[in-house]
Amino acid sequence: MTYLTRLTAAIKKELEEGRLGTPVFVRLVIVASSDHGHLVPNSVAGMQVVRELLGPPIEEIFAAGSVESGNLSVQLHLEGGRTGQVLSILRREGSPGADLLLVGNHGTLRHDLAEAGLAGETEERLWSADGVRGELVAAVEESLRKRSPVRLG
């Protein structure tokens, strides 16, 4: 089980308690410390987290940045006007980490991986790309290539 899966399960439990109301926006920043090849899989894993927390299917994405530059930003538009943003950043020094902000119509929730004391775990374990969907990888790559939004579905 990956860290993102455990984090998502914990946040979904809080959502079920109704403390935040209906989730409307998620921002997930993923900081990687290894090679550039992890940015697209990290972004796709993050997109899956956003989709799982917000509920509706992803309708459109827009990706900017590049693997070569060491940063990748993906804006997601979901059914019903919900939105998300996933930022994958390469840091040459320091530990991998993540920062998640969830905004609901009655409150917010923030989780910082470094604050959770897990920043020393290996990147492979934190950002395992298990279950990464080829459709999302293709959509991110197409958006980067075209420099425009890509509709899904």
Q: What is the pLDDT of residue 1?
A: 33
Confidence of residue 34 (pLDDT cuts 50, 70, 90): low
- pTM of the complete model: 0.85
Which residues fall within 8 angstroms of residue 27, CB to CB, at 6 or more apart? Answer: 84, 85, 86, 87, 99, 100, 101
Residue 118 has pLDDT above 60, yes or no: no
Q: Which of 54-58, 91-95, 141-145 has the lowest mean pLDDT?
A: 91-95
- Give the amino acid at 37: G
If we measure between CA atoms, which residue out of 37, 147, 50 comes closest to residue 90?
A: 37
